[in-house]
Amino acid sequence: MHILRILQTVDRRVLYVLLMLSVTLPFFLTVRLPMRVSPATQALYDRIENLAPDDFVLLAIDWSAGTRGENGPQTEALITHLMRKKCRFAMLAFEPQSPTLCQAIAERLGKEYGSIEGVNWINWGYRVDAKNFLKGFVQDIPAVIKTTNRQEDVTNLNKFPIMKGIKTASDIKLLINIAPSNIYQTYVQFVAGAKKVPMAVAPTSVMVPEVFNYLDSGQIIGMMPGLPGAGEYESLLGTNTKVTRFANSASFAHILIILFIVLGNVAMLLERRQNARAGGAA
Amino acid sequence: MSEYIVRHTDVFMLWVGALCTLGLYSMLYKENRIYRLFEHLFLGLSTGYLVAQQWVDVLQPKWWKPMWEEGRWHFIFIVIFGSFYYFIFSRKGSWIARIVIGFFLGVASGQAFQLFANDTWPQIPSSFKPLIPHPAHTVMVDGKETLIKELTNSGALNNGIFMITVFCVMMYFFFSFEQKGLFVKGSAKLGRWLMMFTFGAIFGATIMARLALLIDRMDFLLNEFGPKAFGSAQMMFAILLAMMGLVLYLALVKDKKTPEEGEA
Amino acid sequence: MLEPVKGGLWYAYVLGSLILVAALLAVLSLLPRRAKRYIVMTVTLLGGLFYALEFFLPTHPMMVGDDPNADGNFLTPFIVPMANVLPAISACAVGLGVINLFQLHGKRALKRNADSINSIAFFVSCIGMAAVWIASKQPQASPLSKALGKILFEGALQNLDATMFSIIAFYITSAAYRAFRVRSMEATLLLATAIIVMLGQITIGQLLTAWIPPRYDFLHVEVIRNWILTKINAPATRAIAIGLGIGSLAVGLRIWLGLERGSYFDE
């Protein structure tokens, strides 16, 4: 077969192996390249930085293990920042896996930063029917939340002093939605827009382009855009977790994909020119 | 036995995780029985988890406990109304299912006004941006001094591009009249080109989203599972390399003798 | 009447409610098809009326929950009870999907062919996961149920879920290589933007233009990426979003007022 044809029809398994190598090999590199912080990430960081200790933040966690690669590091970075700032925060999910996944992250980081469940943070667990739920939630948080993810009464202030003074959405100083879906729009419609609660989003990369619309209109005050956003946030926090390590793998895999796209196109254009010449000669 | 499981939970978790990961990745060579088995396990586990979580976090605290433990008998109407959904399986009684479905459709429609007012509406005025450059200054709004930020030449140009893009893309989707004439046709065409920037951006972002998931999986195999199961990440990498070599051999040597089943 | 009751009275009320609703449905079933359709349309209208009126009616300062500074109208105090009841009703629908899956895999498992083992695996994993997870969440859960819950959730489900979605990375790479060709102006613009966005979101990409002096910051790939996302992508997305928003409102109105035609409303 002609070389130009071969370049356009490489077996898919060869591509898969090369992709796997481009992702795994950089794990053994020790070089760490710097990442420039985007304005959207900086805005979210600044907003949390300006919160006072004990300010109440709602972490709307709506992700499953399917997007753990992006939403996991985002959640870690945000919880780290909130715990460092000694802010109180609650986690609420409309995705069944999320409370379990985030509970593990909060427990681990809580040990590191001396943050206590029930005092500094709380997991409200999983709920359904986001729109109807949030409509009531903004009016009377304890009456609608009722129980934690361990089925304990949230109005028991001895056990959950974090709930002291938390009555309505006006008591929430910042709402951050970590999600791979457009559930953030439901929060814009029924919490941020309805009760003027400042809101930020930590979407997966695939959602990032559409969130810029809400950033421009001011409906959202900041964003942590996918895995790169988590990396940028880590550089602001000065932490060095696996996200920094992931950056090298992402770089090499991106370059490989770009090379393949360029290769396929160059081969196509050259073949087309060759065919045109052959046609002209005939 | 139960004590052994409790003591070695972390080891079981790691091995089960690695087996599940490699079982699903066997699909990358080609469709096979192992992949299908793990695919069905995934379906079963996620369904079981969803049902359990729905009971534990929603139905138990919001329905069962108030009704059974607190004696609020009228909560039975929640499950009666909820059970209407199941009439969908009956040919004769399917209209009963439509009562509850219709009710929730109505609820969603009634909320559509709030949804529009809080989501779409604020985007309309914010699409109109200042186009004349000016220095920073203050103005009185409702008796309060408000700072108006400086608008540079490039800022004004960007605002112009923003407004043109909104207009042209809207024009592309405008079908109330025939798109003819240089202005209408031209702006619709420009709108289509401008949308390509968005689709390109979405594609580029999607690549990152998918790669992040793959990186997370490889990190699990190499840096979580490998060191605990085989002593080091390098050892696990060597095993992965051997697997990749096997796939390449099967794909490029063995499969050449039999026709390919299909391209992904 | 709605006060909590215990013992025999509780059973009497619950049983009475069930009999009452069953009798009502039996009577309504005798109605002609057209009348049933009107019942569904009326319930749809009433369902929407509550939230629409609550949103549109004038508000005045009033005590809502524990908030003395709230605004509302006579419907506002019912929002919280609705927020507790409606999600519980929605949650009842979880069984619909489960029944469908059980029907499908039940048939396959009974066929006793090569695929039966997969359907049996589905049943075992589904029932096992549900039983173990509910048991592990009880206040007096045994260490074994907790350990099994962890193994099934963190070991199996989490990894299967993450791996399943990560497979798309391979397919998208293969698809990009095969289908991403500069055959038209549109495709060229799309490809160029995709490459700029990809380079702008990785460290090596940013390194490529890092040598450009800060005076020409606008030539850095990450700055170009940000410009595309904020000045071209955001307004294009907005134009689409505004169209979608107006369209959704129109569809919502049609459904609410029973004007929508189609299999759901016509039959």
CA B94 to chain CA centroid, nearest Å: 32
Pairing of strands B144-148, B137-141: antiparallel
Separation in Å, CA of C186 to nearest CA in chain A: 15
**CB C53: neighbour CB atoms within 10 A?**
13
pLDDT for position C260? 78
The verdict on B49 touching A (C-beta cutoff 8 Å) is: yes
Candidates C75, C92, C203: best to mutate against A (most CBs of A within 10 A) is C203
pLDDT of A135 over the 70 cut: yes
Residue window 139-198, chain A: list those with CB within 8 Å of chain B: 146-147, 149, 151, 185, 188-190, 192-194
B222 contacts B236 by C-beta, under 8 angstroms: yes
Interior angle at CA B51, CA B45 and CA B53, nearest 5: 95
Residues A62 and A126 in one domain: yes
Q: List phi, psi (to 5°) of B144.
A: -115, 145
pTM: 0.91
3-state secondary structure of B64: helix
* DSSP letter (8 states) at residue B232: S
Choice among A61-65, A224-228, C33-37 with the minimum mean pLDDT: C33-37
Q: What are phi and psi of B139, to 5 degrees?
A: -130, 160
Residue B63 has pLDDT above 80, yes or no: yes
Residue B136 touches partner A, C-beta closer than 8 Å: no
Question: Nearest Cβ partner of C173 from A15, A33, A210?
Answer: A15
Contacting residues of A for C76, CB less than 8 Å apart: 139
Tell whether C203 is within 8 A of chain B (Cβ): no
pLDDT over 90 (residue B219): yes
Structure token digits, residue B205: 């972002």
Domain hosting A270: range is 3-29+247-281
Lowest model confidence (mean pLDDT) among A135-139, A231-235, B37-41, B143-147: B143-147
What per-residue confidence (pLDDT) applies to B147? Answer: 87
Considering chain B, what is the average pLDDT of its residues?
91
The pLDDT, as a whole number, for residue C265 is 61
CB-based contact B117 A27, cutoff 8 Å? no
What is the pLDDT, as a whole number, of residue C266? Answer: 59
Nearest CB to C121; choose among B18, B37, B162: B37
Q: What is the separation, in whole angstroms, between the first and last Cα of chain B?
A: 44
| pLDDT at residue number B264 | 47
3-state secondary structure chain A: CCHHHHHHCCCHHHHHHHHHHHHHHHHHCCCCCCCCCCHHHHHHHHHHHCCCCCCEEEEEECCCHHHHHHHHHHHHHHHHHHHHCCCEEEEEECCCCHHHHHHHHHHHHHHHHCCCECCCEEEEEECCCHHHHHHHHCCCHHHHHCECCCCCECCCCCCCHHHCCCCCHHHCCEEEEEECCCHHHHHHHHHHHHHCCCEEEEECHHHHHHHHHHHHHCCCCEECCHHHHHHHHHHHHCCCCHHHHHHHHHHHHHHHHHHHHHHHHHHHHHHHHHHHHHHHHC
Tens digits of per-residue pLDDT, A164-207? 999 999 999 999 999 999 999 999 999 999 899 999 999 999 99
* B111, B201, B217 ranked by CB distance to A209: nearest: B201
Measured between beta carbons, the chain C residues lying within 8 angstroms of B152 are: none
Domains of chain C by residue range: 8-93, 180-267
- Asked if residue A112 and residue A75 are part of one domain, the reply reads yes
Contact between A27 and B223 under an 8 Å Cβ cutoff? The reply is yes
Q: Which of A251, A249, A244 is nearest to A230 (CA)?
A: A244
CA distance C235 to C241: 9
Alpha-carbon span A214 to B122, nearest angstrom? 9
* Residue C264 in this model has a pLDDT that exceeds 70: no
Q: What is the pLDDT of residue B254?
A: 79
Q: Are C173 and C186 in contact (CB under 8 A)?
A: no
* Cβ-nearest to B104 among C47, C56, C153: C47
Instruction: Give A23-49 pLDDT, tens digit per residue.
Output: 999 999 888 788 889 999 999 999 999
> Tokens 């071969």 appear where?
A6
Task: Please report whether residue A242 resides in a domain.
Answer: no
- Percent of chain A past pLDDT 70, that is, above it, reads 99
* DSSP conformational letter for C2: -
C residues 228..267 contacting B (CB < 8 A): 228-229, 231-246, 248-249, 252-253, 255-256, 264
pLDDT at C196 exceeding the cut of 90: yes
Amino acid found at B175:
F
What is the rounded CA–CA span in Å between residue B62 and residue B55?
A: 10
pLDDT of B261 higher than 60: no
What was the pLDDT predicted at B62?
87
Is there a contact between A224 and A214 (Cβ–Cβ < 8 Å)? Answer: no
CB contact under 8 A, C158 and A210: no
Asked if A33 and C199 come within 8 Å (Cβ–Cβ), the reply is no
Residues from chain C contacting residue B119 (CB–CB below 8 Å): 245
Q: What is the CA radius of gyration of chain B?
A: 30
- By mean pLDDT, which of A83-97, B246-260, C173-187 is the weakest? B246-260
Partner B contacted by A24 (CB < 8 A): yes
> Distances in Å between the alpha carbon of C187 and those of C191, C223, C232?
6, 23, 17
Residues A229 and A269 in one domain: no
Mean pLDDT of chain A: 92
Whether the per-residue pLDDT at B193 is higher than 90: the answer is: yes
The answer on pLDDT for A6 being more than 80 is no
Verify whether the Cβ–Cβ distance A212 to C70 is below 8 Å: no
Q: Which residues does B3 contact at the CB level (< 8 Å), separation at least 6?
A: none
Q: Which tens digit of pLDDT belongs to each residue from C119-142?
A: 999 999 999 999 999 999 888 889
Burial class of residue A58 in the structure, from the number of CB atoms within 10 Å of its CB (0-12 exposed, 13-18 middle, 19+ buried): buried
Chain A contacts in chain B segment 69-88 (CB below 8 A): none
Q: Is the pLDDT confidence value at A1 over 70? A: no
Domain extents in chain B:
76-123
In terms of CA atoms, which chain B residue is nearest residue A67?
B213
Lowest mean pLDDT among A39-48, B140-149, B237-246: B140-149
Answer yes or no: do A200 and A182 share one domain: yes
CB-based contact, C266 to chain A, within 8 Å: no
Percent of chain C with pLDDT over 90: 71
Q: Are A62 and A74 in contact (CB under 8 A)?
A: no
- Which residues does chain C have within 8 Å of residue B195's beta carbon, measured at their own beta carbons? 236, 240
DSSP string, C6-32: -THHHHHHHHHHHHHHHHHHHHHHTS-
**Binary contact (A228, B29; C-beta < 8 A):** no
A73 and A195 fall within a common domain:
yes
What DSSP state is assigned to residue B38? Answer: H
Q: Are C36 and B95 in contact (CB under 8 A)?
A: yes
Q: How far apart are CA B165 and CA C57, in angstroms?
A: 37
Average pLDDT of the segment spanning C236-254: 93
Inspect the interface and report whether the beta carbons of C233 and B83 lie closer than 8 Å. Answer: no
Distance in angstroms between the alpha carbons of the first and the last residue of chain A = 21
- Residue B61 contacts A, CB cutoff 8 Å: yes
How far C174 CA lies from chain A's nearest CA (Å)? Answer: 6
pLDDT at B7 over 60: yes
Say if residue B244's pLDDT is above 50.
yes
- Contact call for A188 and B119, based on CB within 8 A: yes
Please indicate whether, in this complex, the C-beta atoms of A264 and C226 are within 8 angstroms of each other.
no
pLDDT in tens, C147-195: 999 999 999 999 999 999 999 999 999 999 888 888 899 999 999 999 9
Give the per-residue pLDDT at B258.
Answer: 62
| Token pair listed for C222 | 């990450």
CB-based contact, C63 to chain B, within 8 Å? no
Measured between its terminal Cα atoms, the distance across chain C in Å is 39
Q: Which residues pair with A61 in a beta bridge?
A: A178
State residue A268's pLDDT score.
86
- ipTM of the complex model: 0.89
Please provide the average confidence, as pLDDT, over all residues in chain C: 91
Task: Give the pair of three-digit tokens for residue A110.
Answer: 């809580």
Q: Residue A40 is encoded by which pair of tokens?
A: 């959207």
The single-letter DSSP state of residue C38 is H
C144 lies within 8 A of chain B by CB: yes
- Interval C8-51: pLDDT, tens: 999 999 999 999 999 999 999 999 988 998 899 999 999 999 99
C199 touches chain A (CB under 8 A): yes
Tell me the chain A residues in contact with residue B251 when contact means C-beta distances shorter than 8 Å.
11, 13-14
Chain A stretch 104-143, residues whose beta carbon is closer than 8 A to a beta carbon of chain B: 125-128, 131-132, 135
Q: Give the CATH number of the domain where residue A118 resides.
A: 3.40.50
The nearest CA of chain B is from the CA of C146 a distance in Å of 8
Q: What pLDDT score was predicted for residue B239?
A: 95
**pLDDT score for C67:** 72
pLDDT at C109 over 80: yes
CA distance A59 to A76: 12
Q: What is the band of A57 on the pLDDT scale with cuts at 50, 70, 90? A: very high
Question: Chain A partners of B62 at a C-beta cutoff of 8 Å?
Answer: 146
